[in-house]
Amino acid sequence: PLNDDTKNEQNKHMHSMQELMPDTYKELCDIRSILEKNYHDMLDIEFTIQDGKLYMLQCRVGKRTGVAALTMAMDMLKEGLIDDSEVVMRISPAQLDELLHPILDAADEKKHTVLAKGLPAGPGGAVGVIALTSEKAKEYQAAKIKNILVREETNPEDVEGMRAADGILTARGGMTSHAALVARGWGKCCIVGCDAVKIDMNAGTVTMNGKTFKEGDVISLNGSKGYVYGTAVKTMDASENPALQKFMKLVDKYRKMKIRTNADNPADAAQALKFGAEGIGLFRTEHMFYGKNSEKPLFLLRQMILAKDVKEREAILAKLGVYVKASVKDTMKVMNGKPVVFRLLDPPLHEFVPQDEAKQKELAAALKIDVKEVRERGEGLHEVNPMMGHRGVRLGVTYPEVSKMQFKAIFEATAELHKEGFNPKPEIMVPVTCSVNELKFQKKLCDEVFEQVKKATGDKKLSYMFGTMIEIPRAALLADEMAEVAEFFSFGTNDMTQMGFGFSRDDIGAFMGDYLDKKILPADPFQTLDQDGIGQLVQIGTMLGRDTRPNLEVGICGEHGGDAESVKFCYFNGLDYVSCSPFRVPIARLAAAQAAIEEERSAKKCKCGKCK
């Protein structure tokens, strides 16, 4: 050991270098201080001692964990070794991520063998018993037993089980699959696309690379690396660090770009505010039909889908609008004074019609119709490629009454909040657009409803912004036309990547690993924005849109909003904000601040007066 501080159980009986060679030890410490002051960092220093003489061999910047990186940077700031801009640059987004999630204890993790590997969809670590169904996950949670939901893939009906689980492991799916999106939104550890996972529901077992586990057996996940362990690995919570709060204040000192969050309920909105979100860039109205307290609105939605004519549909929508208004109102109340972008109903309707026979019978009985009608309606809505089918704005064109209901709910909620002393800032976003005529059609409906609500409520402060989600390449290429109507653009980079590459975001797990291993692609384009291809569409859309409307507000709301490299790309291309999952907000804040510092440093280096 070098000194008493570095003694451990294995070497505590030995004399230290400090004891045996005090002069040489002092010389080494002095040189260490000189090197650290010169490099302004903690270093790995290599040396040797021959015949009592100290020889320095080499030094390099030392590796460190997220907690260590933060502690060192803040200590060096106190010592005057670095300034606060350098503190911000010293912490990588990956290191900051460690501070926000429970993680596996690195020392203990080394003692265990990796059993299987998948895609790291939700960072952090999780240890718990296997739950093969959402019901079992909820049962374990009720008994206060940490558990990991293991599924082939998840769907909206699994949401409550996913909420109850401490970690999620799926055999299929990519970085923007249902499991990945939900898990990241909640800051929950998740591994997807782990093809080693073989589930036998009849036997109640999971097999991974020859090892079989029963429901109730313990496994561990490293969501930051995509590693699965067949044993319990120790965890640690690195987030309870007061230095983190001080650090984030320094981050915001340099950050220029706004950071919003993707949130669909008051709880997620409140969590995002704690992490520093400055608004909601994506409120998905359809999420009120999934999970907790969704039974009544989902029933009305299904009833509306099965309506025989417009009159019947409007009557049901009037009842459904009460729930939509309550949902948007509660979230705007939490975000008081901050903008909230409401995306109109986006998924194809067939997703909401039950496919399970028992649930079809249950719905038929509740509606007092023959189960055959439910089945036939579901089959009638089936599409070969629903991601490119009858969804988004297309629903609003076919069923304008559905759009009107949402407009009315948002405006009435806004007026009610004004009366209660709040300051709501609604922004209405029309999804899946490809033509300015779609926007003109929806804007006309929106303005009609706006005037009706304004007259009925007498609210003179009632206002809103109208915009669109640019997720189809054609919309980006015709952005100058879209901006004639849209006051803001939000790039939906998940779907834009899917359509641009021709990759199904739910099925890429089967081949993306090969593409990355063989260096056909530098990164998963659903995780880090493809700047060469999809990035060009963002650049073109922003440029053309602002040619028409110079004050056009532009952001992104795809999962790329929480990826550091993608955030920097957005900053350097003049976007006003990025929006991401609540637990990714601090990472986006850091990436935006680092981009601003990089820009400032580049400007100081160049004296030509022409470069940015």
**With contact defined as beta carbons under 8 Å apart, do 101 and 583 qualify?**
yes
CA angle 252, 259, 505 (to 5 degrees): 140
Parallel, antiparallel, or unpaired for β 167-170 and 205-208? unpaired
Q: Cα–Cα distance between 529 and 512 in angstroms, integer?
A: 15
Catalytic site positions: 178, 557
Q: Cα–Cα distance between 449 and 407 in angstroms, integer?
A: 7
Closest CA to 268 of 289, 284, 257: 284
Instruction: Reduce the DSSP state of residue 532 to 3 states and report it.
Output: coil
DSSP secondary structure letters along 305-351: HT-SSHHHHHHHHHHHHHHHHHHHHHHHHHTTTSEEEEE---S-GGG
Q: Cα–Cα distance between 215 and 149 in angstroms, integer?
A: 10
DSSP secondary structure letters along 21-70: -HHHHHHHHHHHHHHHHHHTS-EEEEEEEETTEEEEEEEEEPP--HHHHH
Closest CA to 261 of 589, 578, 592, 590: 578
Q: Cα–Cα distance between 419 and 542 in angstroms, integer?
A: 37
Instruction: Establish how many alpha carbons lie within 13 A of residue 478's alpha carbon, considering only the half-sphere containing its beta carbon.
Output: 16
